[in-house]
A and B are shown apart, each in its own frame.
Chain A
Amino acid sequence: MSARRLDAGGRIDRTCPVSFRWDGLTYHGFNGDTLASALMANGQTVLGRSFKYHRPRGIMSAGVEESGAIVSVGAGARQEPNVKATMQELYDGLEARGQNAWPNVHFDLGAVNGLFGRFFSAGFYYKTFMGLPPFEWGRGTGLWMQYEKLIRKAAGMGAASRDADPDAYDHTHAFCDILVVGSGPAGLNAALTAAEAGRDVMLVEQDFELGGDYLNDPAAEAERAEMVAAVGRAGVRILTRTTAFGLYDCGVAGLVERVTDHLAAPDPHLPRQRFWTVRASATVLATGALERSVAFAGNDRPGVMTASAARSYLNRFGILPGQRVVIATTNDSAYGVAADLAAAGGEVTLADARDEVTSAPAGVAMRPGLAPLSTVGRRGVQGVRLATRSGNGWSQAAHEECDLLLVSGGWSPVVNLSSHRGAKPIWNGDLACFLAGPTDEPIHMAGSADGVWNREDCAASGVAAARRAMGEVVEAPAPGGWVRPIQPVYEVRLPGTKAKAFVDPQHDVIGDDVRLAHQEGFVSVEHLKRYTTLGMATDQGKMGNVIGLALMAEALGREVPAVGTTRFRPPYTPVAIGALAGRNVAGHFKPLRRTPLHDWNLRHGATMTEAGLWQRTWYFARAGETITEAYIREAATVRQTVGVCDVSSLGKIAVQGPDAAEFLNRVYTNAFAKLPIGKARYGIMLRDDGIVMDDGTTWRLGEADFLMTTTTTNAGRVMVWLEELLQTRWPYLRVHVTSVTDRWAGVSVAGPKARETIAACLELGTDISTEALPFMGVAPVTLKGGVKGLIARISFSGEQAYELYVPADQGEEMMDLLWPATEKLGGCLYGLEALGALRIEKGHVTGAELDGRMTIDDAGLGKMASSKKPYIGAALRQRPELTRADRPRLVGIFPKDRSQTFNGGALLCAKGRVSGFGEGWVTAVTHSPALGHWIGLGYIAGGHEAWAGKSVTAADPVRRGNVEVEIVSPHMFDPEGVRMHG
């Protein structure tokens, strides 16, 4: 290839030179270049190495179908692999490198793979390394994984940066009447027609300029400019550098707009890319057609490209891509290319595979009846052998020297987007291509995407598609438009020879791979695709699929339509993960919920942890304390004096209405109908299937007024459940539920001095003695200073304890009263870790124990299930499987050697029988200040009675190893509850 930049012509701005770096060296191009065109103008021919064989590859196209010039762009955290150089706009300072090559694309040691090509055919790895000794299933897996690492390293493409993505991405939504994808003659006409009829139109173009095929034809520039101006005047919303990568249900299109990928110094406030979700009432797909190649030996050599690509490089980028040019075609489309190249000074030979040919364009040598058989040359093409038809095959007929070989094997309309919607592509034998199948959705094909080849017809096709999209019934131009029909050629080879004739150059799939798959019994295209990986590279087989299907059809002795095609799936071109994530990264990945006491807690030394979406206090370390030291001190202080813990995140639901008591009576397993006003009750609710859903206390504030509390993590789920029951199952119950979680700031004050602490904070004369406020009593209270709230005598820690709630915005006032009173009595603030220690000592269950698999009996709370009234889950909790005696039961766990600890998640096994799933598992472990050693909660088959006196192993093979434990009652501390009733 001896490409050279011409002195005039093209759409590049020769007054605006741009410098860029390729493989460490500096080159120059112009504004308006792509990386590919700039490299071509600088005489660079080998731009990459192929996937498996590491063959040198150059530019094969001028668009999204590129399979050769695949490079890495950017450096450091911004390194992006597998960028198609044909789609990368050039900018000042652009840095790009070849990939899949070592040390570089010109001299690549991996090319040795090419010598062993016959070992790299379809299915090679699996046949060689799996299933045979020493790689049989279940045996040599470890060894296979070692080999796989090497294999993966040898194959493949560029490497992504391992650093965090430094760029920002945006998500945005839009609505329109008509979405037009593609801005060629068809798309521009469609957009203009619809906009002039008053429709709200969005026009999406993946290129950086509007015009599509207009851009490749200088003679059409006036027409293009006029159309672009008219579209702008008509109010069409235009998005360039934007790819419609997928169509989805209900008229939704996914777009990616590349906002700053073409800028040398982007505004830091701009996102790198913008992800659009567009909802269109109708969609016009004017997505054009892609030229495909022909499979023949060496069809991947640098200097071989599609015919239309050469026209792009000549007419758009002002480059004569080769001096001695051979064009091999099967259809009329290459004749214009030949004429343009000859007019620009190329020595052009046109080989037309068809039997009858018309006259050659001026200055072009005509070679009728010939098709390319193989290329000659090393790094670049130096000549081509041509073949002629003989019988059913081919025989060698001629040799032409050349530095550029252009191939046109036919055109494939881009039906990918309609295929996303399930419109099966239908083979058109006359045009040798797939056309979009019918669909009931408002999707309309236009232009060459609908198989219309002439520009005038494409324009008319665009108008017709827009009018159909507006509900009119109109005739569209019929597909086709060539003077003489295409005579498709998919592969050229001499009978009985083997050659590297690439079908899918991006994944190094050759014609022989397709035949091998057939020999081995693959008949379905879906299997063919997966076995050979044909069409599974980043281009999804844009160039190779049709050839592969045709070869499979030939091998099967069938026609292409009988073989069918695979369904295209989004994305049309690769989409950066960052664009999908948008702003939902790091701290924005999920909502953050803070309690009203959050800032107060931080000011008082809290370390926070996550509980669901909530930030909760974890522990309050004093100087030099570790987390373990801190929580043990906090828990011990609660048992000895008093502690204060923020419990505002507990779910709180106001359940109100005349039937509220009846409603709760149905939802909870235990009785609520007769709960007196001013009392709280612990309740458990089950799912329909009899498994525990959640637990918590519910307070009766009035005849028709209850306050339900739920666990922090299940609050949302319980709210949804109550709403579902009231709206769908029991609509006649006069009950209203309201989430009031955020309305209250709440603390638990626990310990032998809890009452004394709280009393010091309440209005003088408030009586919270056991007589006035007994265990489970609830009352309105007024704090010193006038803050009004609620107090309930409830204990999770097993100590004398109260929950105190005040309005959220008065939470800090409450803390400023409570904390000095607590400190005065030698108390402390405590967090979730100490709360965990206290509740484990008591055997109180939480999310780790109520994990969506356990029954109320499993959790040891069977006595909470009423036998006098029905409730949700009452029937199905009696299922035989849920009532087996050997079901796991909640137990307490002590290490046999009390100085030892063990891990949550360990499996509980009978001693000496550490295997399988064991007999149970450990849900929670803590150091117990009250008992002076490590303890745990867990489940084991049959419960602690069944394991009394037996040796049990807490097995944790990948962490701590095995620890001998004893199974005890889950009520490990103060089992009679003397302390909390006191």
Chain B
Amino acid sequence: MLRIACPFCGTRDHSEFSYGGDGSVTYPALDAPMQDWHDAVFLRDNICGRQVETWQHVHGCRMWLMVERDTMTHEIFSVRPAHPGLAGALEAAE
């Protein structure tokens, strides 16, 4: 029963969001070798504690968000737009 503070819509129930995945993954270039893609797609840490993950406000503004969450306590430390340009613009506005 998480609540996520969407930077665009305000704090909303997690049922409005859908979970994406590990937000720390940098996907390789499309023409990168198979091994790089294998590592990015299949190798995941199973973190107990703080983790950056992607969520989409799918029943709201549909924005993808970077959520820093404790996987043990569900405490959420930060929420920002996944799009770096939007994140920067929001920060500048603050």
Residues on A lying within 8 angstroms of B by beta carbon are: 248-250, 252, 277, 279, 440, 666, 688-689, 720, 723-724, 727-729, 731, 870-872, 874-876, 878-879
Contact = CB atoms under 8 A, between A and B. Distances in A.
A723 B30 contact: no
Contact of A870 (B1, B18, B31, B82): B31
Given A731-B85, A879-B34, A252 B1 contact: yes
8 contacts: A688-B27, A728-B54, A731-B85, A874-B31, A875-B30, A875-B36, A876-B41, A878-B34
Interface residues of B, number: 32
A475 B38 CA distance: 58
A875 B32 contact: yes
Contacts of A876: 34, 37-38, 41
Interface in B52-94: 54, 56, 58, 62-64, 73-74, 81-85
Contact of A724 (B3, B30, B32, B54): B54
B9 interface: no
Nearest to B29: A870
A163 to B, nearest CB: 31
A279 B31 CA distance: 48
A723 B64 contact: yes
Closest 6 CB pairs of A and B: A870-B30, A252-B1, A875-B37, A870-B31, A727-B64, A728-B82
Q: Output the residue of A250, A720, A876, A879 with the most chain B CB within 10 A.
A: A250
Contacts of B33: 875
Q: Output the residue of B37, B84, B85 with the most chain A CB within 10 A.
A: B37
A724 B64 contact: yes
A688 B42 CA distance: 10
B18 to A, nearest CB: 7
Contacts of A879: 34, 38
Nearest to A874: B30
Q: Output the residue of A729, A874, A875 with the most chain B CB within 10 A.
A: A875
Contacts of B31: 870, 874-875
B20 interface: yes
A720 B1 contact: no
Contact of A875 (B34, B58, B84, B85): B34
A688 B37 contact: yes
Chain A at the B interface: SS class: mixed
B1 A250 contact: yes
Nearest to A880: B34
Contacts of B30: 666, 870-872, 874-875
Nearest to B18: A720
A689 B39 CA distance: 11
Contacts of B83: 727-728, 731
A172 to B, nearest CB: 13
Contact of A729 (B27, B63, B85): B27
Q: Output the residue of B29, B40, B64 with the most chain A CB within 10 A.
A: B64
A723 B37 contact: no
B56 A249 contact: no
Contacts of B73: 440
B56 A723 contact: yes
B88 to A, nearest CB: 10
Q: Output the residue of A666, A727, A871, A872 with the most chain B CB within 10 A.
A: A727
Contacts of B41: 688-689, 876
A681 B33 CA distance: 29
Nearest to A248: B1
B92 to A, nearest CB: 16
A779 B92 CA distance: 45
A279 B3 contact: yes
Contacts of B85: 731
A689 B27 CA distance: 12
Contacts of A248: 1
Contacts of A870: 29-31
Contacts of A727: 63-64, 81-83
B84 A731 contact: yes
B28 to A, nearest CB: 8
Contacts of A252: 1
A588 B94 CA distance: 43
Nearest to A666: B30
A871 B37 CA distance: 12
A724 B20 contact: yes
A623 B31 CA distance: 59
Given A440-B73, A723-B62, 8 more contacts: A250-B74, A688-B41, A724-B56, A727-B83, A728-B64, A729-B27, A870-B29, A876-B34
Nearest to A878: B34
A689 B38 CA distance: 8
A384 B34 CA distance: 80
Interface in B4-20: 18, 20
Contact of A249 (B1, B29, B64, B81): B1
Given A727-B83, A870-B31, A872-B30, A249 B2 contact: yes
Contact of B3 (A250, A689, A728): A250
A248 B73 CA distance: 11
Nearest to B20: A724
A279 B15 CA distance: 14
Contacts of B34: 875-876, 878-879
A879 B34 CA distance: 8
Q: Output the residue of B34, B54, B74, B83 with the most chain A CB within 10 A.
A: B34
A413 B55 CA distance: 40
A372 B55 CA distance: 61
Contacts of B40: 688
A746 to B, nearest CB: 24
A581 to B, nearest CB: 16
Contacts of A878: 34
Nearest to B84: A731
A328 B27 CA distance: 71
Contacts of B56: 720, 723-724
B74 A249 contact: yes
Contacts of B29: 870
A209 B93 CA distance: 53
A731 B94 CA distance: 22
A277 to B, nearest CB: 8
Contacts of A689: 41-42
Contacts of A666: 30
A208 to B, nearest CB: 28
A720 B54 contact: no
A323 to B, nearest CB: 52
A874 B27 CA distance: 13
B46 to A, nearest CB: 19
B58 A720 contact: yes
A250 B15 CA distance: 14
A545 to B, nearest CB: 27
A250 B54 CA distance: 20
B14 to A, nearest CB: 9
B48 to A, nearest CB: 14
A825 to B, nearest CB: 44
A440 B74 CA distance: 12
B2 A250 contact: yes
Nearest to A716: B58
Contacts of A871: 30
A277 B1 CA distance: 10
Contacts of A731: 83-85
Nearest to B28: A875
A969 to B, nearest CB: 31
Contacts of B81: 727
Contacts of B54: 724, 728
Nearest to A879: B34
Contacts of B37: 688, 875-876
A526 to B, nearest CB: 21
A252 B84 CA distance: 33
Nearest to B63: A727
Nearest to B56: A720
